Structure formats: C-alpha cells, structure tokens
Amino acid sequence: MPQYLVGFSPRLSGEVPISTAKNAVLPILAAALLTQEEIILYKTPDLTDVKHMLGILRSCGAEVTEEKGSVRVRAVNVNSPGENALLRTMRASVLIMGPLLARAGECCLSMPGGCAIGQRPIDLHLKGLQKLGAKVAQEGGTVQVSGLLKGANIYLDFPSVGATENLIMAAVLAKGVTRIENAAKEPEIIDLCKMLGLMGARIAGAGTANIMIEGVERLHGAEYTPIPDRIEAGTLACAAALTEGSVLLEGARSDHMRALLFKLTESGVICQEDARGLRLRGKARHPMEARTLSYPGFPTDMQAPLMVVATQTHGLSVFLETIFENRYMHVVELRRLGAHIRVEGQLALIQGGRTLNGTAVTATDLRAAAALMLAGLAAQGQTTVADPAGHLARGYEGLEEKLSALGASARRLDAPANLTKKPGNDGEFMATN
C-alpha cells in the first residue's frame, strides 16, 4: 500500500518543472482511436491513469509503444474493449465512446461506476450522442451505442468537460455540421481540439460555450505535446503559499490558473508570471471565499488543496462546492490534524490559524491525497498519508519528489510507517479522475 511520510517544512524554495496535464492527455489518447495513422504524444506524464488509458486503447485493438517520455498509438483496426476491469475503475474510460462510435459505428462499454466524489452519471454524453443519431441501449452494467452519425445541434444542460470532449470526438467524423451549445471551456478542451485540428478535424469555437464541428471523411496521424498541468501547478502554488515559500513553477501557464491566482493574491501571496513560468512568494494570510465553478471559475480540483491553505490564514474562510456532491472527504482527515472545519451541505467553513499536528491520515481521492500531502508540510511533526488505492500516483507525477526538490521533507514509504492509524475511511476506494 502506498504511504507517504511528510514532515513540517517551512519556506519551500527553488524551481520545479510542471508535468503535462493528465486531463489533457487522457482525452487526446482516446482521440488516437479516430485514425488508422500513428499519433505521437510527447512529454506524457508517468501516471497510473495514463498507463490505464494505454491499457484500454490496447484492448480496443490499438498498438501502443511507450518510449521514454513519449507514446505512439496506432489504431489500424478498432473494436469495443470487451471485459476490462480498467473500464469500471477509471472514469475517463468513457472518453473512448465517442471515438469508437465515430470510427466503427458502435461501442459497447462497461458503465463507469459512481465514485467517491460523486455519482458522475453519463446522461449528457448519451443524450448528445443520441442527438447525433446514435442508438443507446443500457443493460445491466453495460452501455451500447451504435449508428451512423449525422451533425446536429446539441445543447448541454451543464457544461460537462467529459461530455463536451466525447461529443466533439464523435462529431469530427459525422456527416455535416454539429453545434454544441453550453460547451465546457476548460483549457483541456482547447488542447484536445488543437490535436484534432492537427489530425485534420475542422473545429471552431473551442474554449467558448459554442463549438462548431464540420465532419470530415477521415483523420490522419499527428504529433503533439499537451499543455502543462494547471492542477499540479496549482497544488504546488498552494504548497508555496502555505509555507511562505519562494518558488518557480517552471512551464506553468498562469493564464490557465487565473481563478486560483486571484485567491492567492487576495490572501497576500505575490504571484508573478515570467518567461520561465510562474513565481510565487510569501504567505497566504487573509481568509478567502471560494466557490467551485466550471472554467474559468474556480476549479473543483483545487478546492481541497486551497482549503489546506485556508486553515493557516487568520480568520474564517468560506468554500462552496457546486460541481461534485461529495467532495469534502478530505475534511475528516484534515480535522484529525487539528483543522477546524465545519461542513453544511455544499458549504465548508474553515477557521484559520489553528496549529496542525502530524498524525496518520488516509487519502480518499486524488485531490484529497494531494491536500493531505500539503497539510503535512504545515503540520508540526510527521504526517503519514496512507493511500490504499494509489490515488496520488494516478494524477501527480512524483509529487513527493517535487516537494522534496523544493526543500520539503516528503517521501514515499515502501513499508508502512510506525504510526498508529485511527479507524475510519477503510472502505472501498474508487477512481476519481
């Protein structure tokens, strides 16, 4: 079982490179199923989720070659993946539905289950595919979509990131024009559309709420380096703000991180963009208010890390989680460390200024795992973060190593640490990407 040992670590300093974005790489890998030709992705991060997606592509008939830091995918013929445990445990598996349907006229998948942070249905994906002419049949835990796709006007009831990506990938090979209204505007959507553009797709409006796709006969191979991970960069920015650090996040795109940087700046941190990336100096001192929203609003994936920062400010911070219905699981663990946090439905009230004391805590999802690592930096003594489901390595490329490179005491333990774990949170863990 992965476990991490984190010690009190004031004033992080130095430079760390930001890895390529998990949530950009996963849909781009799914897009490789749209062509017979070879796709090459550079700077692919060493993450469990990426490995799982490559496994899923293999089970769809693609040939996958991993080289140091890059991946080649060639999907000469494609098929539905069949029974594969990765499909149920990895939420992003649903992103192969649009490409397989567009390319092969059908796709049969195990439904990605609910997960720790919320139910996460795929109704918007299916409704959009039906608009494009697909027949949808659901039986037991399986969903089958089939049919020849024709361009259509689609309105998304909510700007779902995954549904927007799936529908774009389905529409690029559909006959005619598709318009998606109320589309998600995340940078990862723009990145996917850039890659699809290099493959020969015709897409306008990516990054806005109205995306237009003109279907083409076929797509071809392409090479691409996806964007840096704004959530990894944000997590490290929170580590700097928490410890009164002075840190350069090499390659970070501050234009993708505006909402977080406004929060940190209001709280007293100096955030400066320069040619090499993003520099942060100083400590977050003032309490903050954060409401999670779709991009460009404050990202739900940053809620847990920023909450840790809020525990060390002077005063009462107010957070509102509006995207996922169960994304406060880290609160119980932060309380074990001594944080004063009250949760009322979607609302969390964080009383800052309480001393945190290291103890044993458990990661319940990916961003909760990262938040607990940060809390360990601010807690007196040692904190052991148990991560039975391996959440951290799903979405962060060596977070403990990057924190250590900035002077933190943080390492992965191979053997269980000699600390007593309080009972609780030992149920089944599921995927959260």
Binding site for ligand EPU (CB under 6 A): 23, 26, 91-92, 118-125, 158, 160-163, 299-301, 323-324, 366-367, 395, 432-433
Output 248 or 302, the one with its CB closest to ligand EPU.
302
Parallel, antiparallel or unpaired: strands 13-17 and 409-413: unpaired
- Helix residue ranges per DSSP H, 32-175: 48-59, 85-89, 97-104, 123-131, 161-171
Q: How far is the CB of 357 from ligand EPU (least distance, A)?
A: 27
Output 323 or 339, the one with its CB closest to ligand EPU.
323
Q: How far is the CB of 23 from ligand EPU (least distance, A)?
A: 3
End-to-end Cα separation, the chain, in angstroms: 20
Q: How far is the CB of 284 from ligand EPU (least distance, A)?
A: 22
Residue 213 has a CB neighbour count (10 Å cut-off) of 27
Output 161 or 350, the one with its CB closest to ligand EPU.
161
Q: How far is the CB of 22 from ligand EPU (least distance, A)?
A: 6
Q: How far is CA 92 from CA 158, 227, 348, 402, 432, in A?
A: 18, 18, 28, 26, 9
Which amino acid would we find at residue 93? S
Q: How far is CA 320 from CA 114, 219, 258, 326, in A?
A: 22, 42, 18, 12
Q: Can you tell me the distance from the alpha carbon of 250 to that of 120, in angstroms, rounded to the nearest whole number?
A: 33
Annotated active-site residue in 115, 193, 238, 271: 115
Instruction: Say whether 107 is catalytic.
Output: no
Q: Can you tell me the distance from the alpha carbon of 119 to that of 70, in angstroms, rounded to the nearest whole number?
A: 33
Output 87 or 248, the one with its CB closest to ligand EPU.
87
Q: How far is the CB of 415 from ligand EPU (least distance, A)?
A: 28
Closest among 284, 374, 290 to 333, alpha carbons compared: 374
Q: How far is the CB of 330 from ligand EPU (least distance, A)?
A: 12
- DSSP element (H, E) containing 202: strand 202-204
Residue with tokens 């476990």: 3
Output 123 or 266, the one with its CB closest to ligand EPU.
123
Give the number of residues written for the chain: 433
Closest among 287, 282, 281 to 267, alpha carbons compared: 287
Q: Cis peptide leading into 296, omega within 30 of 0?
A: yes
Closest among 421, 402, 400 to 412, alpha carbons compared: 400
Q: How far is the CB of 119 from ligand EPU (least distance, A)?
A: 6
Residue burial 23-35, b: 16+ Cβ < 10 Å; e: rest: bbbbbbbbbbbbb
Q: How far is the CB of 362 from ligand EPU (least distance, A)?
A: 17
Which amino acid would we find at residue 296? P
Output 118 or 390, the one with its CB closest to ligand EPU.
118
Output 174 or 430, the one with its CB closest to ligand EPU.
430
Q: Cis peptide leading into 299, omega within 30 of 0?
A: no
Report whether 164 contacts 156 (CB < 8 A). yes
Residue with tokens 């002419």: 133
Q: How big is the chain by its Cα radius of gyration, in Å?
A: 21
Output 21 or 341, the one with its CB closest to ligand EPU.
21
Q: Which residues are catalytic?
A: 115
